[in-house]
Amino acid sequence: MPPRPLLIAHCRQLLTLAGPREPRRGQQLRDLGLIRDGAVLIHGERIEAVGPTRRVERHPLARQAVKFDARAYVVLPGFVDSHTHLVFPSSRAGEYEQRLAGATYEQIARRGGGILSTVKKLRRASPEELRTQARGWLAEFAAHGTTTLEAKSGYGLDLKSEIKILEVLRQLNRQGPLEIVSTFLGAHVVPREYKRRPQAYVELLVRRMIPTVASRGLAEFCDVFCDRGAFTPAQARLILTAGRVCGLEPRLHAEQLVRTGGARLAVQLHAVSADHLERVNRGDIRRLARSNTVCTLLPGAVFHLGKSPYAPARALIEAGAIVALATDFNPGTSPTVSMPMILSLACTQMRMTPAEAIAAATFNGAHALRRADRVGSLEPGQQADLCGFELPDYREIPYYFGVNLCRWTLKRGQAIYDATGRLQP
């Protein structure tokens, strides 16, 4: 028997994000498509109808539906977290303490800490260990309202270990419940064994690693950490071009620690996204605004490092750029899975409005993963990915910080997190 339809009725506020399918820019980012006393009718994995409860209740399928009374909740699309480094072996709490005592992220990296210390441990870890760890974090993502996430390799830095990460991601995606979009980040930093000949590592990426990853269907995107201490824009261009030839669409870490020209390169290459962008200048903002490259801002990394400026979100939005928000979940710079916390940081530190932050973490995040035709908004035909926050007003999602008020999350119509006990089949 197919499951009965599910009617989420009487939502205190229903944020549909419905409207034109193009990524939201400027003023459009403030339009959440809010319906008071709204309802969502779900059939199988998809949304059948959305609107005021009184109207949706008259839908023919609504009569046979299981009804969930959502009057205590703000209901919105599940978050689309478009930048994470999900698979890593352990924390770097020791480095956190060193940084608090005054060492910088780059100094620690130059001493062989940082990304390379995670690489060393990851190479020794078994796929089972990595999978178990990641699965635990995925449950936490779901509990904070996230239903789709991107995840990068990049802590292996040799073919075998990069494939190990990407295969773990593939299995996790198949098992569900979250949808995981994989990105090859073999160009995270130059591994120790290539320290004296970085160009040989670029060659290895271009000639061997990228073609292998692509031919096995292990990733959809190719990313480069383009920054001081990582890769130059010239190297990034070679790597991303090779990725594109093999069918991996480019995205990149740009202008995080210093301004290198990565944002400009992203625009030239028509990259899907340029992420971080703390150090962009006015010319970069202008170019990004005229492009279709999504500007993915990662305030969690700035907060956790406690140092650099936040990305100029206001200037980017006002210039007309496509702005998205993501956690950047990783052990070095942003150990959080909480999109609600990212919304709080976006509002208080980057002066985004609560509505802009929510649209950036859902609808524009879906665009950053080329999945806006399925996720990121609540409209008939979209995947039934949604979450409920026990609050009367959506502005309270960022307002209450450091506390998780997400109470339930549905992925493809199934409860993947339910603190109410009323949604489980």
Choosing from 57, 81, 150, 328, the residue that interacts with ligand NIG (CB under 6 A) is 328
Interface with ligand NIG by CB under 6 A: which range of 59-67, 328-336, 391-399, 411-419? 328-336
In whole angstroms, what is the distance from residue 331 CA to residue 208 CA? Answer: 28
296 forms part of the interface with ligand NIG (CB under 6 A)? no
In the bound state with Fe ion, the residue whose beta carbon lies nearer, of 227 and 328, is 328
In whole angstroms, what is the distance from residue 318 CA to residue 289 CA? Answer: 9
Q: How far is CA 185 from CA 155, 188, 212, in A?
A: 8, 6, 13
Give buried/exposed letters for 281-315 (b at 16+ CB in 10 A, else e). Answer: eeebbbbbbebebbbbbbbbbbbbbeeeebbbbee
In the bound state with ligand NIG, the residue whose beta carbon lies nearer, of 53 and 333, is 333
Question: Could you give the string, one character per residue 253-272, with x where binding to ligand NIG holds by CB under 6 A and - elsewhere?
Answer: x--x----------------
Choosing from 13, 82, 84, 118, the residue that interacts with ligand NIG (CB under 6 A) is 118
In the bound state with ligand NIG, the residue whose beta carbon lies nearer, of 56 and 298, is 298
In whole angstroms, what is the distance from residue 351 CA to residue 333 CA? Answer: 21
301 forms part of the interface with ligand NIG (CB under 6 A)? yes
114 forms part of the interface with ligand NIG (CB under 6 A)? yes
Choosing from 6, 42, 115, 272, the residue that interacts with ligand NIG (CB under 6 A) is 115
H/E element, 252: strand 249-254
Answer for the pair 15, 394: CB distance below 8 angstroms, yes or no: yes
Kindly state the smallest distance separating residue 168's Cβ from Fe ion, in Å: 18
Q: How far is CA 412 from CA 39, 44, 47, 382, in A?
A: 17, 7, 9, 9
In whole angstroms, what is the distance from residue 336 CA to residue 329 CA? Answer: 5
Q: Which positions from 311 through 330 interact with Fe ion, judged by CB under 5 A?
A: 328
Answer for the pair 30, 359: CB distance below 8 angstroms, yes or no: yes
Q: Which positions from 329 through 368 interact with ligand NIG, judged by CB under 6 A?
A: 330-333
Interface with ligand NIG by CB under 6 A: which range of 32-40, 327-335, 352-360, 408-416? 327-335
225 forms part of the interface with ligand NIG (CB under 6 A)? yes
Query: Residues in the site for ligand NIG, rule: CB under 6 A?
Result: 85, 114-115, 118, 225, 253, 256, 301, 328, 330-333
